[in-house]
Structure 1
Amino acid sequence: MGAIAEYITPAFLNNTPYLRDIVETLETHRSANAKCAVCDVDESVTKFAHCCSSVCTREAFVIACQLESALLDDDDNTQCIAHWKDDVARYAMNVMLAIVLNSSNVTIQQKARRLLLRLANNNKTLPSSVFLEGSNFDTLHRQSSGGFGEVYRATYGETTVAAKRLIQTYGQDNEDEKRWRSYYEALMWKTLKHERLLPLSGIIKTDQEYFIISPWHCDRNSGKFLFDLVRNHERYRWGRFYQLFVYRWLLQVVQGLRHLHEQGVVHGDLHPGNVIVVNPRPKDQDHLEFDIVLADFGLSVIREANSNQQGSIRGGAVLAPEQMPFELDSRPGRPTVESDIFMFAALCFQLYTTRSIYPTMMAHNKNRAISALRPLDREVIVDVPGGDAPVVIPDELWEIIERCWTVAEDRPSLNWIEEKLKRMQGSLSSAQYA
């Protein structure tokens, strides 16, 4: 059994569901002749794997009791926990991260995530279990660079990974804050686990810098994949096979968004570049079938957050009308469940047409986030080898786009979108084998 079982009474364990979930997952080892990092007493202490804090059974019991009160009671009992510092905070954050990743209770997961992020932000530190062992890459090849940082294809052990490094801008006063924001966003990402979400493997600290590590997928983002498909394979251009690709991926996007929203999190920056193609597998002799995962949760926020410390307020590539700032120099409003639905409409348009929404919206400045209730164009012209190709968005998909691309109170639920896409997918599959 893990550390929790060593100091929690059976009655306490049985009445604390989240503890039962994580007992088997928390590996510990004992430090001989060690002092508790909290109370400085010489006694046998427990220490989480990859955790730098050693806590004696007495202090661990106190921490567990306070966590139970904060996570299981309806009243807000988080005030004392939010002020924990140093080893107590590090120890508690490792426990809370394990709760988020292993508990089957969604309410407990949401509470633990909020408390974990608050405690991390107050201490400007991360749970030690987020960091990966080792500090060197066997290979490191830069793949892309932007204002946010640089992405490398790297070999870590025997695994090919994507390594994201912040671009350093020396001399700026907010450099430390920018770096911390990136790590804070990585922690948010680490707490999210679903088959339709790209997982965060962890963070690697080298001699001079940090890299945020995730699995490497070479099959490109969904927009690039579909653009190459229609340009290089004429028989796939907006036919039944192409539509099945798009509808299948949109359905998987909805599944990923549903998990985020159920966890009390919104994505905030949904576009084709953040929809990654993965898992190619043969469907028949003619073609492969692919899945997608959602990536880049840098703009994700906790829905019920009361302060900017609980998530980003930066604007994504598309802003819903209610997010638009009233003044030119003011910041956009926080992402919401409804704004994710608005962005989903733009994603539908972009994936099906392989065109950006910018030309159809006649944006006056493509470097600024855009938003309007001005309608998208159902018919567009796409430049393909051999000439221009007229593309008309099908009726069923156009209905989804129109309903999502409207004012917040009129946007549909993910349930409605999912059922609509399933029917569309089923009709195409039936017609294919009729």
Structure 2
Amino acid sequence: MATHEGKDVALKRLRVFQGRAEERISVRKKFCKEALIWQQLRHPFVLPFLGIDGTTFAPLMCMVSPWMSNGGVLQHIERHAPLGVNVDILLLEIAEGLTYLHESGLVHGDLRGANILVNEGWHVQLSDFGLTGIIDGTQRSSSRCGSVRWMAPELINPRAFQCKVFQRTTASDVYAFSCVCLELYTLRMPFSSDMHDSEVILAVIDGIRPDKPSPEDCNGRVLSHELWQLITRCWVQQPDQRLTSREIISLMHRVVKS
């Protein structure tokens, strides 16, 4: 946290790893690529990019964004539960931010609760584009780092889906959105906490998905039939059979009204 022109801002600093000079150069290039992508984005539900700070941690660089006083979306829901936070509205805003990225030719690559912040107006802000990729396939991320419990089956086992390379796509973002829906309702990671990540991987490859949570699992909230149907259409096994983010927006409007 820092201040700029009298306002609180967040600094995202480039991590320093010990390694060869070529590796450090590669990390720096990735940092610059992320900054170049982020600075072009303008949407109410995408965290704004304010600039680069090259002095605070010189010679390291930081990306600067507004400070989100409400923190992450999960903490926001839990903290303001007595005031009746409308989770469906938050999911609609996430879908709108995601659609903006997709229609801008980008994939998010790591959509999950930890990367969704909430601003002072209680609106979501999609953040952390460290895994962002280009839709047209001219640039691919070879790194498989990410969060297993939000990861689509084709990312876990590309060969089973006739994928020549590991590549995040709009369809894998949509799969992650379905997991975010469960996460925001239950305030827990997708799949049972008793399952190890290795068990989750095997389950996802076999087409197994979490069961619909009960109101008790959702802290008294009721996950509607309409939203559950949307979730199941977002995490189907075959990527080309999933909803698009634009279709999610249309269906989420119905969920909000129901």
The question of whether the paired residues in 2 share the 8 Å contact of 1:271 and 1:347 is answered with yes
Q: Distance in 1 between matches of 2:25 and 2:202?
A: 26
Q: Which residue of 1 aligns with 2:11?
A: 163
Taking the TM superposition and a 5 Å limit, the aligned residue runs for 1:267-282 are 267-280=108-121
Task: After superposition, give the CA deviation of every residue in 1:403-425 in whole Å (9 maximum; x if it has no partner).
Answer: 11112122112333222211222
Q: Distance in 1 between matches of 2:220 and 2:125?
A: 29
Q: Which residue of 2 aligns with 1:375?
A: 209
Q: Distance in 1 between matches of 2:173 and 2:93?
A: 15
Taking the TM superposition and a 5 Å limit, the aligned residue runs for 1:204-283 are 204-206=53-55, 207-230=58-81, 233=82, 241-242=84-85, 245-280=86-121
Pair 1:397–1:409, CA change in 2 (3 A): same
* Alpha-carbon offset, residue 228 of structure 1: 2.9
Aligned length: 247
The question of whether the paired residues in 2 share the 8 Å contact of 1:264 and 1:303 is answered with yes
* Alpha-carbon offset, residue 248 of structure 1: 0.8
2:248 is the counterpart of 1:417: yes
Q: Distance in 1 between matches of 2:119 and 2:70?
A: 6
TM-score normalized by the length of structure 1:
0.52
* Alpha-carbon offset, residue 391 of structure 1: 6.2
Q: Return the match for 2:36 from 187, 203, 209.
A: 187
Pair 1:422–1:359, CA change in 2 (3 A): same
Greater strand share, 1 or 2?
1
Q: Distance in 2 between matches of 1:404 and 1:360?
A: 22
* Structure 2: runs of 5+ lacking an equivalent: none
* Alpha-carbon offset, residue 213 of structure 1: 0.6
2:145 is the counterpart of 1:304: no
Q: Distance in 1 between matches of 2:80 and 2:249?
A: 25
Pair 1:364–1:256, CA change in 2 (3 A): closer
Pair 1:279–1:229, CA change in 2 (3 A): closer
Q: Which residue of 2 aligns with 1:178?
A: 27
Q: AA paired with 1:348?
A: C
Q: Which residue of 1 aligns with 2:172?
A: 339
Question: 3-state SS of the aligned residue for 1:348?
Answer: helix
* Alpha-carbon offset, residue 344 of structure 1: 0.7
Indicate the RMSD between aligned Cα atoms, in angstroms: 2.9
Identity of matched residues, % = 30
Q: Distance in 2 between matches of 1:312 and 1:267?
A: 15
Q: Which residue of 2 aligns with 1:316?
A: 146
Pair 1:392–1:379, CA change in 2 (3 A): farther
Taking the TM superposition and a 5 Å limit, the aligned residue runs for 1:115-194 are 153-173=1-21, 174-194=23-43
Taking the TM superposition and a 5 Å limit, the aligned residue runs for 1:51-130 are none
The question of whether the paired residues in 1 share the 8 Å contact of 2:182 and 2:190 is answered with yes
Pair 1:383–1:404, CA change in 2 (3 A): closer
Q: Distance in 2 between matches of 1:340 and 1:195?
A: 19
* Structure 1: runs of 5+ lacking an equivalent: 1-152, 281-289, 428-434
Q: AA paired with 2:241?
A: D
List, as ranges, runs of 4+ consecutive aligned residues in structure 1 with deviation greater than 3 Å.
170-173, 311-315, 363-372, 380-384, 389-392
Pair 1:279–1:369, CA change in 2 (3 A): farther
Question: 3-state SS of the aligned residue for 1:293?
Answer: strand
Pair 1:326–1:250, CA change in 2 (3 A): closer
Of structures 1 and 2, the one scoring higher in RCO (CA 8 A, sep 6+) is 2
